[in-house]
Structure formats: structure tokens, C-alpha cells
Amino acid sequence: MTDGKVERIIEQLFARPDVDYIHVCDTEAGCYDFRMERQDRPITGSTEMQDFKC
């Protein structure tokens, strides 16, 4: 995402039925910042960052 319009990207991703959450990374620092989860669908199971790479 380069245009600074994150809301549009978030809406597009959460419009997909297979997306439960979004990991957000800092591209400059190269690290994980936070995770956004759907409000309408609780996450079950492990929430650990297994095999996650930014």
C-alpha cells in the first residue's frame, strides 16, 4: 500500500470470507506492529505468530 489509503485496503481484505484477521507490519523497521481482527467473527484456536514473516 503506497497511497496512504489504508481504509480501502482493509475493507477489501475483510470483504473476503477467508480473511479472519490482518497482520500489520512496519516496512521500514521490518517488524510486526499489530493485528486487526474482525468484530463479527471471534478468532478460535492459537493466536501465536507461528511462521509469520513481514
DSSP per residue, 1-54: --SS-HHHHHHHHHHSTT--EEEEEETTTTEEEEEEE-SSS---S--S-TT---
Confidence of residue 53 (pLDDT cuts 50, 70, 90): low
Q: Is residue 43 part of a domain?
A: no
Confidence (pLDDT) at 46 = 56
| Whether this model's pTM surpasses 0.85 | no
Confidence of residue 15 (pLDDT cuts 50, 70, 90): very high
Q: Is residue 12 part of a domain?
A: yes
Q: Is residue 47 part of a domain?
A: no
Q: Is residue 49 part of a domain?
A: no
Taking Cα atoms as reference points, which of 16, 9, 13, 14 lies closest to residue 38?
14
Q: Is residue 50 part of a domain?
A: no
For residue 37, the cross-strand partners are 21
Domain with 19 in it: 6-37
Q: How many domains does the chain have?
A: 1
